[in-house]
């Protein structure tokens, strides 16, 4: 797999995140702040954990990306961040079992309400 294809996929993924952030108040970096937000509402014994995996073309994870890229195609094109050919390349990579990439990192956070004495 050439680095150019991987870079194209990353550009389409970045365009996807940008469109979601602009159109739907999506924040791909919120997980970094979740523990701080839990602390701000008064929780104690805070913690968090992230999980990621390696997804390969044709797997369930890349199927989700393929469908999302298709759904956001027009908005990504309108953003000017990617071309139609780049989106088509990313869609093809989502079906290519030789293509693997790091999934998004899913962050879970937790805390406890303070006990009243």
Give the pLDDT of residue 58: 93
Helix (H, G, I), strand (E, B) or coil at 17: helix
Sequence-ordered strand ranges (E) for 1-117 = 44-51, 54-56, 100-102, 106-112
* Burial bucket for residue 14 (CB in 10 Å: 0-12, 13-18, 19+): middle
Comparing 1 with 4, which gets the higher pLDDT? 4
- pLDDT band at residue 1, thresholds of 50, 70 and 90? low
Backbone angles phi, psi at 55, to 5 degrees: -105, 145
Question: What is the torsional sign of CA 75, 80, 82, 88?
Answer: positive
- What are the beta bridge partners of residue 100? 56
pTM over the 0.75 mark:
yes
Counting residues of the chain whose pLDDT is more than 90, the rounded percentage is 78
Contact 50, 109 (CB under 8 A): no
What average pLDDT does the chain have?
92
Hey, what are 95's tokens? 């079906």
């Amino acid at each position: 797999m050439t680095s150019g294809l991987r870079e194209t996929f990353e550009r389409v993924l970045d365009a996807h995140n940008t469109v979601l952030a602009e159109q739907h108040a999506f924040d791909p970096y919120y997980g970094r702040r979740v523990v701080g937000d839990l602390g701000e509402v008064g929780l104690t014994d805070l913690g968090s954990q992230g999980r990621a995996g390696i997804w390969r073309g044709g797997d369930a994870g890349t199927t989700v990306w393929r469908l999302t890229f298709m759904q956001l195609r027009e908005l990504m094109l309108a953003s000017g961040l990617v071309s139609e050919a780049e989106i088509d390349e990313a869609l093809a990579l989502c079906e290519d079992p030789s293509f693997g990439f790091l999934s998004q990192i899913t962050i879970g956070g937790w805390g406890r309400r303070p006990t009243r004495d």
